[in-house]
Every structure is written in C-alpha cells, then in structure tokens.
Amino acid sequence: MDRARSVRRLPLLLAPLLAGLVACAPATAPAAPTPKPPAAPATAAQGQQAEWDRLVAAAKAEGSLTVFGPAPDALRNALLTFSKQYPDIQLEYTGGFGRVFVSRILPEREAEQYLWDVQVGGSGTAISEFLPRGVLDPLKSALVLPEVLEDGNWRGGFDAGFQDMAGRFIYAFQGSLVPIVFVNRDVIPESELSQIEQLTDARWKGKIVWDDPRTNGVGSTNGAHLLSLLGRDFMARLLDQDVVITTDQRQLAERLVRGSLPIGIGVDLPVLLTMQKEGVGQNVKPLAPDSPTGARVGSFWGNATLINRAPHQNAARVFLNWLLSREGQGQWVRAAEAASRRLDVPAPEGTLPGPQHRVIDDEPNFHFQREMTDLAKELIK
C-alpha cells in the first residue's frame, strides 16, 4: 500500500519541476522574414540611353555649336537639318574649302582663341595641316549611340573609315565612286576620247580645266590618283597640255558645261549636279569610270573631325553622333548624291565603287598628293 501511494504521488512531485524547466527554456525564435528579391540590374541599353540623355542635356545647356563644313548649299542644308532635331542647340555654320579653314583656325589658335567644334570636309587639310599640329581630338571616344558604333552597319566595319594611320582622328563616312575626269560629250564624243591615257594626246591641248593641283583639294587628290597609277612622266605630259588652272569650282563647272573647256579634272560633284538639275550640262559624263584609272573610292567632302579644346564639347559630341547615325547619313546621301559607308543607307545609282577602285585620300597614300602638288608647282608657272 505504501509503495502504491508513492507511485500515485510521483506526478504531483514532478509537476513543479517540469513547470520550472518550461519557464527556464528559451523562447521559440520568431520566423525569419522572407527575403526580398534583389532589384533587377539596369540593362546595357538602359545605361546607354541614360548616358545619351545626360549628353544631350549637357549639350542643350551649352546651347551652341560651331561647324566648318562644305560650301555647296545642298550639303550645308543637309547638315543644318541637325537643328530641326535639336532646336535647343544653335548650329553656327561656316562653309568653304579646307584651305580656307586652315587660314582661319591656325592664326586663331596661335592667339589662344579656340572657336571651333567640328569640321566636315576633305581629308587633305586634316592630314597635312591638323594632324602634325595636334589640332584634333580622338573621334571614336566622342560616340555614344550603339547604332553608330555597330560594325555591321558600316562597309568593312566601323574602324575601316578612319583615314589617319593611327585610326583615331579623321573619319570618312562617305565612300563613293569619284570620277577623276569629266568630259562634255556635246563637244568631244566618246569615239574620240574614251580612256584616261588618251588625255596627253595633242588634240586636247588647251582644252582641259583643272582644280588647282598645287594645293590640297580634289584637283590634287585626283592628280595623285593618276600619278600613283600612271607615273610621273605621264603627269608631266598632262600638265604640259596648256591646262587652265582655277580655284573657283563654280567657274570650273561653268566652263565644262558650256564646252569652252570640255575636259575637267577635279570637278566638285555637288556643284556639277546642281547645274545639271538646273538643265545645263546634261551631257557632261565621267571618263572611263569603270576603269581603275578613271575613278577612285572617295570620301570627298565626307570626313568628320573633332577639333580639340572645343568650346562646346558636349554639343560637338551630339552632332557627331547624329551625323554618323542612319538619320544623319540619310540626309547627307540625299544631298551629296553619293554613297555613304553605312550599309543601311541606300546608295544612289552608280555611286558604289567596285573592287578595282582604290582609296587615295588617306594618310598611307598621302605621299602621292605631296608628290602631285610638288610636280604641279614645278611645272605650272
């Protein structure tokens, strides 16, 4: 009986002990909160758009842009369409040949005046005058838009457009067929003159007008092309044809279309095309454009450079991105009636060069232009 009572009392004796153990036990930890998913990282496209937006805002704050560009009205108007897309950036445009720009910008810089942002024009003065004097900034680093830098949008890839050996400063966005010589076929039929090599025939003495080959320009570049293929002796005989030298492209084209000087070397294509649209010179044709000597791959006016110490650096970058975009190149091609290096901008008929046509207006071949100008200075008195 005593043992039974002891068993019955055991739960009563254990109850206070169990209660104490429960009281001393640690509290149950609260459930951990469900972690929030990490914020999605910004995409590359969003980052590029943000960078572009910041650049445009900075350019609008500058409010102005100074460009030296081509003289022909069609090309000027094409570049001025930039202002329609960016009306808050006033584009101050001066047109002329590269030699005119050199005569302005170099004295200004000597006087510590830095007034220009961008030049659009021929490569000759940039190679001969600006590169040696450190006038230019690297151009590619100014570009932001992915469509501009995409290799697949450009013939040969984007970097193939650089004209300087460093591949940084002078960018050719135009890569078009450039005829070397034009002939007024109302005066000289093709049966009498069909090849470049025939130009030294005595029949053409006194009938050739030439954009001055003694200075940088299309006249010396076209002469350099012939010199590189036909040699110094041929060029000396050609210069001995009592050629008429001019620095006035309008005058050159007028003499050519009127037939008073029916053979033209170094013709400014936009000037000639404007006259033909006005109804004159319809039968002025390139001489042997399908031959290696008769035409070249040319950037002509279609080169862009970024001037260093530019007063409106952000606006200059916006302009260059626009110029090399599909929109900007479309405007240029329609005005110049020449092929862009951009593959997504249709080329006007007859402007795409063939594999037989070569580049002469880049820095690796620029020695031919120096040889041409030296020979012309020697022989033209």
User: What does the alpha-carbon distance between residue 235 and residue 121 come to, in Å, rounded to a whole number?
Assistant: 26
The pLDDT mean for the chain works out to 90
- Find, among 71, 131, 78, 73, the residue nearest to 98 by Cα: 71
Do 193 and 287 touch, CB atoms closer than 8 A?
yes
pLDDT above 70 (res 15)? no
| Complete domains list, the chain, with CATH | 45-176+299-356 (3.40.190.10), 178-295+370-379 (3.40.190.10)
User: What does the alpha-carbon distance between residue 240 and residue 375 come to, in Å, rounded to a whole number?
Assistant: 11
- pLDDT given for residue 27 in this prediction: 44
Mean pLDDT calculated for residue range 227-231: 98
Percent of the chain with pLDDT over 70: 89
pTM above 0.85, yes or no: no
pLDDT above 90 (res 213)? yes
Q: Is 140 exposed, middle or buried (0-12, 13-18, 19+ CB in 10 A)?
A: middle
Do 189 and 205 touch, CB atoms closer than 8 A?
no
User: What does the alpha-carbon distance between residue 52 and residue 46 come to, in Å, rounded to a whole number?
Assistant: 10
- pLDDT given for residue 36 in this prediction: 55
pLDDT above 50 (res 28)? no
- Find, among 350, 296, 340, 333, the residue nearest to 75 by Cα: 333
CA distances from 185 to 156, 202, 216, 351 (A): 36, 18, 28, 20
- pLDDT given for residue 19 in this prediction: 41
Type of residue at 99: R
The per-residue pLDDT for range 327-356, each reduced to its tens digit, is 999 999 999 999 999 999 999 999 999 999
Do 131 and 101 touch, CB atoms closer than 8 A?
no
Percent of the chain with pLDDT over 90: 83
- pLDDT given for residue 270 in this prediction: 84
CA distances from 59 to 2, 63, 85, 371 (A): 104, 6, 13, 43
The per-residue pLDDT for range 119-153, each reduced to its tens digit, is 999 998 999 999 999 999 999 999 999 999 999 99
Residue 219 DSSP SS3: helix
pLDDT above 80 (res 75)? yes
Angle subtended at Cα 278 by Cα 276 and Cα 284, rounded to the nearest 5 degrees: 20
- pLDDT given for residue 48 in this prediction: 86
